[in-house]
A and B are shown apart, each in its own frame.
Chain A
Amino acid sequence: MDTRVIGKPVPRKEGREKVTGRARYVDDIALPGMLHGATVRSQLARGRIVGIRYGAGIPWEEFTIVTARDIPGKNCVTLLIEDQPCLADGVIDHPEEPVVLLAHSDAYLVEEARRAVEIVCEPLPAVFTIEDSLTRKEVIWGEDNIFKSFLVEKGDVESAWAQAELIVEGEYETGAQEQLYIEPNGMIAEASPEKGVTVWGSLQCPYYVHKALVPVFGLPKHRVRVVQTETGGGFGGKEEYPSMIAAHAALLAWKSGRPVKIIYDRAEDMVATTKRHPSKTRHRTGVTRDGRLVAMDIDFTIDGGAYETLSPVVLSRGTIHAAGPYSCPNVRIRSRAVATNAPPHGAFRGFGAPQSVFALERQMDRVAEQLGMTPDEFRRRNFIHEGETLAVHQVVREKVDMKRLMDRAFELSGYHEKRERFAKENARSAIKRGMGFASFLHGAGFTGSGEEYLASEVSAEATPDGVVRIHAASTEMGQGTNTIFSQIAAEALGLPCEQIEIVQPDTANVPNSGPTVASRTSMIVGKLVESAALEIEKKLKDSGFLDGKRDPRAFAAACRRYISEIGPLGAFIRYDHPRDLHWDDERYRGDAYGAYAWAVYVAEVSVDTRTAETRVEDFVAVQEVGRVINPVLAAGQIEGGVAQGVGFALFENIVWREGRMVNAQMTNYVMPTSMDVPPIRVFFEEIPYGRGPGGAKGIGELPLDGSAPAVINAVANATGLDIRRIPMTPETLLEMLESARG
């Protein structure tokens, strides 16, 4: 395909502001008369609030103080359902639950005051583990502690066991993971009954925040405005929690009559906001002696924390991805999200899939081992092909070639040669080397009928100078929305990228293009951007002001003429769900995603058996993601995702005590530094996807799925240890090494 700007390494649209320090993040904004807000939180995991004590030595009369009683509308953070309060009222369901809000003009004094408030509680019995929640040691949510459960069935697993010549079982666990965007959460609000509510903040989904604020204040929709400021990373961590902070800042502003800023410090951000759901997965896999999958029985449970929030959706994606890119006639996946008295777990890049994919890819290696077959040969015999059906009964209509991706990844990483060589060398060395890989897929866009319900909207308008402005609620948070949208529109119109402007996401000014999540921005919203751009061109052509020639000056002249002779020149596009994609929500089957990204990742590791230190020495990531719109940005997405996946596998350990994270500091919650990441070598296979803009598919979440299992499979290969739980820190590895030595 001959393109001018798609496929080119166009520099980041807002890059100049970022490299000069001029980009304005929420904490860089100060409004006249602004107060600083703080949140007083519960210490207990579960209990009844019997009193609030305001300690001595604080000039309380100078403070704005907000409790649940001050909320003008409904006390809830509306998301899927309305079970989570903005401020705890009477009962506490998890540690660090917000109870009282304070504001004062002196940021130091407000912090001192926060420490002087005591929430007096009578404790209630609490639940902290998946097991205790499942056995209903205490019922803490609904009737049975279950937020949601799914059953996916293909064929008949029960009667298929008879055909299996070997059955392998396994249980796997993944821990919570902190998103750890470097910019902590923050929000500024102005609010009054006369002017309504406006918030500015670090967030991924302007319309989620809008939807949550409307009922809290009982205002009509048009009196609530949400503006995204430059956002210093999200990774899912700014998908749902910003609604809470926005409501808090706005409640303080509403009561004080002054603008209020709330910025979380790192400790508060880590201890109080969402993390990746911890998970447990049980596999029972039946195969024939020649390595054909006969039956896969998968049981997947995630810990949702104290409120439902997004757990049903995270569970859904984890469930659908649990059987991977393999063709198996009989599959059963049973899954559930359970309640515990921890802060709600939430969105984090991959959204349930990294958990279930870790379990599957470890299980695949273990089945191969028991078959006496290499892990690659076992997978090769079971890879899905075009025309075959996934576990959810989706017929694959893409030209998927997993074998090719695998061969390329093996060649680039020297997989076979090294695996063989390391096996010989390891016998004589305290440092054991190993090769491991994972093969996986990731669906782009909302699941099933999700995109149809979202019905996303994008608009575009042209100025008399021929500048085309794109209006969408899709946010830039580092992943490249501004640049990608510019490239898509510029390509469609034959203009340079500089002639495209991306309007700041502001609910007063942009239509709802849906949340910036689910690897949907390039593929789904990008397509709407392309359509909007083409609609403008069509209007110019239909009016006779623009001929076939693609020339920026002719385009500008045509825009000027159109606007002066006919009127405003714009386009409004709404998502139209492809008619041939069908999803059955009742039976949980059908076309789960319009398209999948397919990948094989290979990790090379070394494990020092004396220090139990694991190093990832090399990493090769090969993927097919449709047409790559911007090779620098796309590779950047993969590299960053791999680093987060390495952290998920080896470093990032959350220590829980009674539902509370006790290592809420960057000092003792360790993410990969520049010394820890391997060379990450990224390669794309490009098969243009007909329904993506310029042929693109989704990309953002993919790298989180396969990185951790590739690394751990390599550690297993190096050490011979059967690792079933991540993070695999040096401490856990040391224990395993010692017990292996007997």
Chain B
Amino acid sequence: MAEVGKKIRVECTVNGEAAAFEAYPMERLLDALRRELRLTGTKEGCGEGECGACAVEMDGALVNSCLVPAAQAQGATLRTIEGVACADELHAIQKAFLLHGGSQCGICTPGMILASVNLLDRNPSPSEEEIREGLAGNLCRCTGYTKIFASVVAAHRKRDGGG
């Protein structure tokens, strides 16, 4: 069971700021983020690493937080959806999702946006095939992905164009 053992204190960096929380070592990072830090933008869709709704960045890598034990976040640098926008200024990807219909019901959106941001950080001008591959771990039931691809393309074009 996830709660076996004593709670530990996990210290890490979340969205650019030092954070600390109490959690059982093998508890899901997803639960600790949502309950202890009230970062509820990270969603649970399946709890088995299939849907990507709980995706966060951990030391620069995209991970499914439902598969990461809380203890593993010790000393890590995390980015959640709450850390993507800069104060009130949306990230280019967020703007693109808003303008191009990349978000419908919104439940996959935080994970999808983190996956897109992560993709563009690694590969600033992805081909369509690379976008499809880069987002293959994030399921969306509303959009048929078409407008998500369009959003990612629009965001990197805008950046390439210096906008």
Contacts and interface: CB of A to CB of B under 8 A. Distances in A.
Contacts of B80: 21
Given A233-B141, A675-B136, A108 B3 contact: yes
Given A20-B82, A640-B142, A183 B107 contact: yes
Interface in A634-673: 635-636, 639-644, 665-667, 671-673
Mostly, the A contact residues are loop
B1 A112 contact: yes
Interface string B142-161: 11111111000000000000
Interface stretch (A10-18, A67-75, A379-387): A10-18
B98 A16 contact: yes
B11 to A, nearest CB: 23
- Grouping DSSP codes into helix (H, G, I), strand (E, B) and loop, the B interface class, with mixed when no group exceeds half, is loop
B109 interface: yes
Contacts of B51: 182, 666
B146 A680 contact: yes
Interface string B35-52: 000011111111110110
Interface residues of B, number: 56
Contacts of A636: 101, 104, 142-144, 146-147
B141 A674 contact: no
Looking at chain A, what size class is its interface with the partner chain?
A: 35 or more
Contacts of B85: 20
Interface in A248-304: 265-266
Contacts of A22: 41
Contacts of B14: none
Interface in B110-163: 110, 113, 131-133, 135-136, 138-149
A674 B135 contact: yes
Interface stretch (A23-31, A79-87, A520-528): A23-31
A19 B144 contact: no
B106 interface: yes
A23 B106 contact: yes
Contact of B47 (A230, A265, A632): A265
Given A12-B103, A183-B105, A640-B141, A674 B148 contact: yes
B147 A235 contact: no
A257 B131 CA distance: 50
A19 B103 contact: yes
Contact of B90 (A19, A179, A644): A19
B147 A674 contact: no
A707 to B, nearest CB: 10
B113 A235 contact: no
Contacts of A677: 144-146
Contacts of B48: 266, 665-667
Given A20-B41, A232-B107, A671 B139 contact: yes
B81 interface: yes
A680 B140 CA distance: 15
B107 to A, nearest CB: 3
Interface string A461-487: 000000000000000011110000000
Contacts of B141: 179-182, 233, 235, 640, 643-644, 671
Contact of B43 (A11, A25, A665): A25
Nearest to B27: A108
Nearest to A638: B144
B19 to A, nearest CB: 16
A576 to B, nearest CB: 32
B105 A674 contact: no
Contacts of B94: 19-20
A478 B142 contact: yes
A664 to B, nearest CB: 11
A331 B53 CA distance: 48
Interface centre among A24, A108, A479 (most CB of B within 10 A): A108
B62 to A, nearest CB: 14
A352 interface: no
Contacts of A414: none
A433 to B, nearest CB: 20
A18 B50 contact: no
B28 to A, nearest CB: 11
Interface string A1-45: 000000001011011111111111101100000000000000000
Given A16-B90, A20-B41, A674 B104 contact: no
B51 to A, nearest CB: 6
A339 interface: no
Contacts of A23: 106
Nearest to B2: A108
A640 B106 contact: no
B140 A182 contact: yes
B44 A232 contact: no
Contacts of B136: 673-675
A478 B41 contact: no
A679 interface: yes
A436 B76 CA distance: 52
25 contacts: A9-B99, A9-B101, A12-B103, A18-B103, A19-B94, A20-B82, A20-B84, A20-B85, A21-B41, A22-B41, A24-B40, A108-B1, A179-B141, A181-B105, A182-B43, A183-B45, A232-B108, A265-B47, A266-B45, A633-B101, A639-B144, A640-B141, A640-B143, A674-B132, A675-B133
Given A21-B80, A477-B105, 20 more contacts: A12-B98, A14-B106, A18-B103, A20-B81, A20-B85, A21-B39, A25-B43, A27-B44, A181-B105, A183-B105, A232-B43, A232-B106, A232-B107, A479-B142, A639-B146, A643-B141, A644-B141, A665-B46, A665-B50, A666-B139
